[in-house]
Amino acid sequence: MMFALFIGSAVANAQVNTFEDAAERFSQRQFAPKQEAVNWLVSNQHPFARDILSGLMDGRLYYQPSTRQLYLIESLSRGATAMEFPYLTPTEIVQTRDFRKVRVNNALRVTIRQGIAQLDLTSTSETRRLAAAKSLLGETSPTVLMLVEQAYQTETSEPVKDILALVLAIANIQSGEANLRQSAITVLSDSLEPAAYQALLKARETELQKAVEDQTALPTLNRAIDAYQQSQRVYEMAETLFFGLSLGSVLVLAGIGLAITFGVMGVINMAHGELIMIGAYTTYVIQQLLPDHIGLSIWLAIPAAFVVSGAVGIAIERGVIRFLYGRPLETLLATFGISLVLQQAVRSVFSPLNRSVSTPDWMSGMLEINPLLALTYNRLYIILFCLMVFGALVVLLKKTPLGLQVRAVSQNRAMARAMGVRSEWVDAMTFGLGSGVAGIAGVALSQLSNVGPNMGQSYIIDSFMVVVFGGVGNLWGTLVAGISLGIFNKVLEPWAGAVLAKILVLIFIILFIQKRPRGLFPQRGRAVEG
């Protein structure tokens, strides 16, 4: 069923019989003929009606004065492409003066918006119909409301019908009829759309301006507003917890590699942040090699970052750290010096400027749970990625010969060596494993922030806090500590601010360590035995 958008449009449509007639009217200076053309395109549901109307709204619709042909042009410049209607034939622009933009005024924009809404509401795509219905929230034009009422009668999708009913309710809540107004309040009170909340507030203001004896709808309005505000608080807390989980996942990824090396080897590795940075730069390099395959480059970067950062970690252990076992202060100073060397090396190769790593399409956008709660895909994938990395490490340390040897060395190094375990080889592989996991963390962090020579410094302190709070060398402790600190930080931020929240978290950890020096989940190991 087609909708009648404008009263009296049949008279105008009698003068526009073909697409060529409509194109000729768009090339005229007067706005009335253009409105006739818009009416004809919409009422006849021309295949390119929406493209033309969108081009009009965005200022991308042009015409040639000599031929009266319509063109869709993204950027009017020599050598650019003009798409000729009605078949969207590409034409190269030789002279920009051959094209003129179709001008619109405010009245015509209203007509165009209504035309686009009509076309979208009759679309076969449920997504497009839903978007069109949401775009009409707050509209009070009689023409639009008539269009919405007709669409509501024929709509088969319940989500779309709910939004259409909401459009009508927002308009009817200001009605002078008590029954119609009460019905609108009932519809609005069941909705989480911000437009519904604003309509309820406006209706309450109108009700308060009446005489006291006429404020019959005020109790119902107050209950509906209170219920919405309660839902708002609940979903704000849910969003805060989600952000806390995502921050906690970042902290776990940054700290879990340090937990492995610190727990087994007792080495305070101040270059851990730079190993994260190397993983992030590995992601950047792979994206430069595969600029047309961003999604594939992210998957390839995960093993590549593990190998590159792991190799650098093994080189650090074999070249420096193995000569400093049992001398924690010298190890701290040596690894701090290595971190400065790595930073300068990156500056020399990639320059001191930050680099941007592109986010693949499947990590962009948001998952809308409801109008008050939307979860960003990149943070959601970071949480899942953290759990996958954690699960892989647990399996590696519990079910493989390397994991058995790592646990043996961490619990009793002398006994492990007496049983034939090559502790030097275990040290190198453990440091390489921890460094490789840091590289994987760099891949994840590259999707949340820019990649630069100093990015590792932002996470080294947080990594140590997570490891110490959770219990040195305990993976489960690292997971619980990272998630807990992330949530604690995000819960404090709204009322304390970002800087003060971090300070409060640090004070909490200091006080906690005073009571439990070995963390949440203490573990026996060389560091403890020493």
- Helix (H) / strand (E) containing 439: helix 423-445
For the chain, the residue count is: 530
Instruction: Work out the widest C-alpha separation in the chain, in whole angstroms.
Output: 100
Residue of 310, 313, 311, 287 whose CA lies nearest to 300: 287
For 368-379, the pLDDT digits (tens) are: 888 888 898 988
Residue of 488, 473, 487 whose CA lies nearest to 518: 473
Q: Enter the pTM of the model.
A: 0.76
Domain boundaries, the chain: 9-107, 123-216, 239-529
For 467-503, the pLDDT digits (tens) are: 888 877 678 888 998 899 889 888 888 888 777 888 8
**Cα(359)–Cα(376) distance, integer angstroms:** 12
- Helix (H) / strand (E) containing 89: strand 89-92
**Cα(100)–Cα(153) distance, integer angstroms:** 42
What is the 8-class DSSP label of residue 71?
E
Backbone φ and ψ of 161, nearest 5°: -60, -40
Query: Please, which residues bridge with residue 374 across strands?
Result: 368
Half-sphere exposure of 217 (CA within 13 A, CB side): 29
Q: How far is CA 388 from the centre of its chain?
A: 20
For 12-23, the pLDDT digits (tens) are: 444 777 888 888
First to last CA, the chain: 82
For 358-405, the pLDDT digits (tens) are: 888 888 888 888 888 889 898 899 999 999 999 998 898 888 888 888
Contacts of 199 (CB under 8 A, 6+ apart): 138, 169, 170, 173, 188
Half-sphere exposure of 402 (CA within 13 A, CB side): 15
| 239-529 CATH | 1.10.3470
Residue with tokens 């009296």: 8
Q: Give the least confident one: 6-15, 223-232, 447-456.
A: 6-15
Torsion of CA 480, 481, 484, 487, to 10 degrees: -120
Contacts of 190 (CB under 8 A, 6+ apart): none
How, if at all, do strands 100-101 and 373-376 pair? unpaired
For 152-177, the pLDDT digits (tens) are: 888 888 888 888 889 888 888 877 77
Determine how many CB atoms are found less than 10 A away from the CB of residue 183: 17
Average predicted confidence (pLDDT) for the chain: 84
- Whether the link from the prior residue into 371 is cis, omega within 30° of 0, is no
Following DSSP, what letter does each residue of 239-288 receive, concatenated? HHHHHHHHHHHHHHHHHHHHHHHHHHH----TTHHHHHHHHHHHHHHHHH
Residue with tokens 């507030």: 201
- Give residue 154's pLDDT: 85
Q: Give the least confident one: 8-22, 195-209, 265-279.
A: 8-22
How, if at all, do strands 70-73 and 366-370 pair? unpaired
**Cα(378)–Cα(414) distance, integer angstroms:** 45
- Average pLDDT of span 107-134: 85
